[in-house]
Amino acid sequence: MSSNQTPNPLCTPVEHKFSRRHLLGAGAAASAMGIGGLGGLVQPLIADQMHQKEKQVLFIWIDGGMSQLESWDPKPNTQFGGPFRSIPTSIPGIQISELMPKTSQIMHKLALDRGVSTFDNSHSAGVPRINRGDPKDRGVIYPYFGSAVANLMGPGDSGLPPYVWVKPGSGGFKYQDAGFLGPRYGALAIGEGEPPPNILLPETVNSKQNDDRNALRKFANQQYSKTRPATFSEAQNFVFDTAEALMNRRSLFDDPDPKDVERYGDTPLGRDMLIGRKMIEAGVRFVKVNSYGWDTHGDNFNGHASLMPRFDQAFSAVVDDLDERGMLDHVLVIAMSEFGRTPRINGHIGRDHWPEAWSIAMTGTGIKQGAVIGETNAEGTWVTSEAHDIGHFFHTWFNALGIDSEHTEYINDGQPLPIANDDCSPIRELLA
């Protein structure tokens, strides 16, 4: 809780949840620390450890624009509804597309907003605007959500990079995401599930030589930064330090368990989601998992008939795994695109870009499971309930992570800047 927030004197329902896995986990921790039996549960040390678990984010980015009509907000038997049916979910009265049978069974674990309404209908404008939360123009480039969380919450205790991006294609260090926060808050991209290149020392360099070289590098950076801004030398040191941490955790890139591959799907998204889960388990603060190929201007229905089952399998598997491990208590999971797709079907049997009415799903820490809010009209063309822009979601997600979004500020060269659009506010119906 932020120091600016007033503690709630009343307990909330979530504080009464204490599952069998928590009981067994706490008992194991007590035993390992020499505190006998379940009586260890009353020890303050155990209680503190359980309550101080670092909060993390798994951000699933569906690049190009998932159709809300073939996923979260189907409109079967309407003019533009398409050929797919809707199916019931684990929440009575709530239905989603038949292309998501596995997700339908975990709907009670999720929160869904069908009333998303944004503005930019191009990728070039929509992607950065959505990822930055649509801040007001203040003469600076705002950070992407991953960089913002890395800055506001710190890297945690894992020693690993605070912001890891798992994606198809090439990897590398993506400093641009950090905006005015500076390069050190950029994303370390893991391309094609492969570890960063040169993660192992060459045979010609031993550990002692590597330590000596790093000491020389740090000394050179210190000398350089004495007469120049330290931003880039600090970023370089940070990249080297986190690379060294990854070198020590090379096992994160070992081949996954075949049973996990079967559950998540032997697809790019399934394999990347598995790596994303490993990164979360290892303590990475913010993990973004990317899926490309969703820009279905042509042949939308065959496209989604292929894409949606891959998403359905990987998404439901990671939510179930995090839940079974007790990790939804401290991991915020978000699944979204830069916009939805048009209800109207174009001449290529496709759907175009539609920011006016679409959906975002989430679960995990601070989120009210089973909440389904927002409505669109019968054909899905417009939001008929209170519309929510991306600024509202940034406020909501920050608050779910324990950050008071309406009072916390960035400081950029002495200039205070709001962390989320100050014309928006948290969506209370989505918060636990």
Structure tokens given for 89: 């979910």
In a domain, 15, yes or no: no
What is the pLDDT at residue 199? Answer: 67
In a domain, 9, yes or no: no
**152/213 same-domain check:** no
What is the pLDDT at residue 328? Answer: 97
Mode of pairing for the β-strands spanning 372-373 and 111-116 = parallel
**184/102 same-domain check:** yes
CA dist 214 and 208 (Å) reads 10
CA dist 70 and 85 (Å) reads 9
The last residue of a domain, from among 211, 243, 275: 243
Angle between helices 268-282 and 300-324 (to 10 degrees): 30
The last residue of a domain, from among 186, 220, 243: 243
**378/239 same-domain check:** no
What is the pLDDT at residue 41? Answer: 39
**218/141 same-domain check:** no
**233/120 same-domain check:** no
Per the structure, how many domains does the chain have? Answer: 2
CA dist 15 and 25 (Å) reads 17
The parts of the chain modelled with pLDDT lower than 50 are 1-52
Structure tokens given for 385: 């309930």
In a domain, 71, yes or no: yes
* Nearest alpha carbon to residue 271 among 280, 262, 284: 262
**238/371 same-domain check:** no
C-beta contacts of 173-177 below 8 A and 24+ residues apart: 173/239, 175/235, 177/131, 177/143, 177/144, 177/146, 177/147
In a domain, 17, yes or no: no
> pTM to 2 decimals?
0.84
Q: Residue 47 belongs to what H/E stretch?
A: helix 44-51
**264/235 same-domain check:** no
pLDDT digits (tens, 9 = 90+) for 170-212: 888 899 999 999 988 999 999 988 877 666 677 888 888 888 8
For residue 86, the domain's CATH number is: 3.40.720
**222/304 same-domain check:** no
In a domain, 354, yes or no: yes
What is the pLDDT at residue 207? Answer: 81
**256/223 same-domain check:** no
In a domain, 48, yes or no: no
Range of the domain at 115: 57-197+249-430
**Please, which residues have CB within 8 angstroms of residue 281's CB and are 6 or more apart in sequence?**
325, 327
186, 148 in Cβ contact below 8 A? no
What is the pLDDT at residue 220? Answer: 84
The last residue of a domain, from among 188, 223, 243: 243
Phi, psi dihedrals of residue 331, rounded to the nearest 5°: -115, 125
In a domain, 28, yes or no: no
CA dist 390 and 287 (Å) reads 19
Half-sphere CA count of 394, side-chain side, radius 13 A: 28
In a domain, 10, yes or no: no
**287/163 same-domain check:** yes
**224/350 same-domain check:** no
**216/144 same-domain check:** no
